[in-house]
A and B are shown apart, each in its own frame.
Chain A
Amino acid sequence: MKNFAYINAASEKAAIESMSDKALALAGGTNLLNLLKEYVLAPEALVNIKGIAGLNAIESFEGGLKIGANVTLSELLDHAEVRGRYPALHQALYDIGTPQIRNMSTLGGNLCARPHCWYYRYEYFDCKKRGGQGCAAIAGDNEFHAIFATDGPCVMIHPSSAGPALVVYGAKVKIAGPGGSRDAGIEEFFTLPAAAVARENVLKPNELVTHVLLPPPNGKSATYEVRHKESHDWPLAMASVALTMAGETAQEARICLGAVAPVPWRAAAAEAALKGKVVNETTAGEAAQKAAEGAKPLSGNKYKVQLVRTAVKRAILAAATGRRV
């Protein structure tokens, strides 16, 4: 790892003034330190944001929640309101990493984490994100890569498990920068590689996610994750679902996929298929078929199409019944 200066930021302002493309924000460090050790990133400085007051609280806000970016995943999991009112988020976070990782990882970090694509993570591979010529995953071992938006310059999957849940809740991200603070819709926050291949979101080098704003939930919700291992594994595919119900009928449905595209992937066709339908095995299955439409798998990940269908169907049924499938 390259030597770096360590800057302890006492305030948002101080952090923003210190941050640049050569001075990166450090929160939990579970993602960043690995990248430093592998020489994938070699910044001049790290700006510790953990000491900034006000970024580590979960507060009531306009009937929903205002969650500081430095709140750890463990704290979110332990929070009664997150567990009770936002089950899709709770379930999305539940199995991330290990207890030790969840104790260190922050919500802001989960949203801003860099890809865990092995071609990005090992410096000896060609990777456009690291300024290379091509994307090694396209002709390489892409069993775990994207099946949506695979015609872009990079076929990573976004590593955030919280992302799809925040999308179905219509969350906003509070961003602080030199010009002050702004709110971005969660879907606008994440960006496709075609927009800018070197980054995964709208943040500029001197901008910082400070909070996530969750509006009050409007119905039932759930997340279903497919993974290979029980302990310490990444999702192979996941789906978060929020349903506005009238009796057994879904008046509105919001469905977002994780681990299958370079951004949390909104499944609009599946939402439309479910809208106005009585939610049952059949309608959930039909929506699941729609969710997989438009998938363009790579050479080694056709199986993920089936995983998407399963995850969507099970997430819809889990949301409607309140039972984990």
Chain B
Amino acid sequence: MPNWPSERQLMGTKVPRVDGFKKVSGGAKYSYDINLPGLLYAMILRSPYAHCKIVSIDLGPAESMPGVKAVHLIKKPGDELHYAGDEIAAVAAMTEEVAEDALRAIKVKYQVLPHVSSEDQALKAGAPAARAGSADERGEKIEDAIKEAAAVHEGTYGCEVITHVCLETHGLVARWEGEELTAWASTQAVHGTGTALAQHFKIPKATCITNFMGGGFGSKFGPDIQGIVAAELAKKAGAPVKLLLNRAEEHNAAGNRPSAFAKVKAAVDKTGKLIAFDAETWGTGGHSRGAGFPLPYVYPVDNRRRKHTDCFINAGDNRAMRAPGHPQGSLVMDSLMDDLCHKFDPKLDPVEFRLRNLPSTVLRDIYTKELLLGAARIGWKENWHPRGDNAPGPWKRGLGVALGTWGGGPGDAQATCTLHGDGRVEVKCGTQDLGTGTTTVVPLVAAEILGLQIGDIAGSIGSSAFPPAGGSGGSTSCGGVSVAVAMACTKALAELFAKVAPKLECKPEDLQAEYGRVFVTGNLERGFTWKQACAVLGQQPITASADKKEGEKGMATSTVGGAQFADVSVDVETGRVRLNKIVAVADCGLVVNRLTCESQVLGGVIMGINYGLYEQRRLDPPTGLPVNPDMEFYLLAGAGDIPEIDVVLLDYPERGVIGIGEPPTIPTAAAISNAVANAIGVRVPVIPLTPRRVLEALEGKA
């Protein structure tokens, strides 16, 4: 079974991003920055109503406008528009300003239809928009267990819809050269996007390029309507077209994380172990997509029942968002666990309560280690108090904890490694870097296997012209890509060894590559420098290909657990929550690049802070139109809102590589909510924890 080198020079160390300087100096060209000769700018006309039907469209005024080069109809008369932001038509023009003027000149007659713009409206009796999603019942003794329980708690919890807020919005630049289509897309899947474009236009191949990418978080897997439209307009106009969404479109039409609400009744026995769980849950994922999320979450319970309802409302559809469903499951479950613990025994330490309820899986030991380690780092023993801080003054301090779990197994990936006679090493893989650091992972792993330095490797990713790799979703890229790269380099090295061995009068298996040399194991002197070794290749380079399947068993795995702790202060006279510190203990097996790995955890925690305290997509109740599709009324943490974040990576090198992108964002909001409850003595049931909600919860208590 293949495995990683037992002694590693680079993997697990802190390696700065190879493209870091370009990113901070403006040298990095994102899809948004691609400007081609004769480029046209495209924009999309969208529904101004939450729900309507198109009666008629007159494109004439746009088509005849000077500077307009192509117009494309997306919907036709009679079509229904399901939300404010639904696509109608698009225009490509010589400037953005002309394109926008042209959109506003298009004459559309609408028949306005009744709309539903909130979960409550959807759930009201008679509303056609809520559909029972699923029912799940296991164990037969829920009622009995509740009767015999030592403590029963009933609570309602909730999370609002939030959006991805990718700093680079969705879209692409499309260029046709004859029948060849090239797209510079902001995408998490260069191969998937290239293939989808080729299928749509019935051409043999479309090339998708993503050299730099400004965030996707699960919302950018295909060309999307705007990508197809850009390519259609480019074809019609005979010129390259740029179509990237503006901020409002990004909020309204480019995906979101569904809301989640739960009315839960749960019980524990006299040992403080969960024995019954009965939940009614609902949420909205937009006009056609569901709002499922895992529940119960992390903590097992045999007797359980759950009824879930998807609320279909006139709003943009959800898309996968960083650990889909898990942050919601974590918020509901870990809030419930704290409330249940308090009900069972107000003096019982919630960390101890969790230790009593851990699953009996591989995660048991991991969670235990994380809970104890994190508790020590946040100062739990010194500062935890039973619910409600009795200190004088308006600021109340509290601690909270929550857990999360994720897969993160190795995704599909192939790679090639080419060794040249002059010592150059090229590694290619058709994956992409969402900002997670994959661009650095590729040369890092190659250098590790070949015994070189990162600067010796020319790594290439971000194009569908390179060997196929899956979309970067589910935290699967790092595992798949590092294994594929390692296997390709291992194979290329074996071929090199076969050619070098005769020169050193040894067998190929006696050779090793390390410290920039190829030498006989045990005798560093009996060998060549890397360049000298490669010189045996002359004009015939070695290229080896590999699939991650060749090495995934042993080199990568899945299933991680994480624990996070929050230390907060709450001003009970204003409802304001101030974060003092977050501790994030994360498990990701063998760490590839410690620097970007920690950076992923930091980013996940910051996203979790936003989820817990600030973000909320707001639709005007009467009209269903968005009131905050921007970055002013849609609140996001700024530098001053981020506390000290203490990242602790558990090292489990024997587990192999596991993805880390998603798990660190899962438990943050729940840990904050629990810390707030611990501080003020009452649960604020729905996140984000705004001043209004905190004050209302306090008022309910008084």
Contact = CB atoms under 8 A, between A and B. Distances in A.
A is bound by B: yes
Interface of A: 1, 3, 39, 98, 116, 118-119, 122, 124-125, 136, 139-141, 143, 226-233, 236, 300-301, 303, 306-307, 309-310
Interface of B: 48, 84, 97, 100, 104, 394, 573-576, 578, 614, 618, 620-623, 625-628, 632-633, 635, 637-641, 690-692, 695-696
Contacts of A303: 575, 691-692, 695-696
Given A143-B692, A231-B638, A236-B691, A1 B622 contact: no
Contact of B620 (A3, A125, A226, A228): A125
Contacts of A230: 578, 638, 640-641
Nearest to A119: B627
Contact of B574 (A3, A122, A229, A310): A310
A271 B623 CA distance: 42
B676 to A, nearest CB: 14
Contacts of B84: 124
Contact of A118 (B614, B622, B633): B633
A300 B621 CA distance: 12
Nearest to B695: A303
Given A1-B97, A307-B574, A228 B690 contact: yes
A279 B310 CA distance: 56
A233 B635 contact: yes
Given A228-B690, A307-B574, A140 B640 contact: no
15 contacts: A1-B100, A140-B620, A143-B690, A228-B690, A228-B691, A229-B635, A229-B641, A230-B578, A230-B638, A231-B639, A303-B575, A303-B691, A303-B692, A303-B695, A307-B574
Contact of A307 (B394, B627, B637, B691): B691
A118 B691 CA distance: 19
In the A-B complex, the 6 residue pairs with the closest CB atoms: A231-B638, A230-B640, A231-B640, A118-B627, A310-B573, A303-B692
Given A136-B620, A233-B635, A307-B575, 19 more contacts: A3-B97, A119-B620, A122-B625, A125-B627, A139-B622, A140-B620, A141-B620, A141-B627, A143-B690, A226-B576, A226-B691, A229-B614, A229-B640, A230-B578, A233-B638, A303-B695, A306-B573, A306-B575, A310-B394
A317 B97 CA distance: 52
A45 B394 CA distance: 51
A229 B638 contact: yes
A232 B48 contact: no
A207 B641 CA distance: 40
A24 B625 CA distance: 29
Nearest to A116: B632
Given A122-B627, A303-B695, A306-B695, A231 B637 contact: yes
Contacts of B100: 1
B47 to A, nearest CB: 10
A318 to B, nearest CB: 14
Contacts of B627: 118-119, 122, 125, 140-141
Contacts of B574: 226, 236, 306-307, 310
Nearest to B692: A303
A125 B635 CA distance: 21
Contacts of B622: 136, 139-140
Nearest to A288: B573
Contacts of B641: 229-231
A251 B225 CA distance: 68
Looking at A98, A141, A301, which has the most chain B CB atoms within 10 Å of its CB?
A: A141
A96 to B, nearest CB: 13
A125 B573 CA distance: 34
Nearest to B579: A230
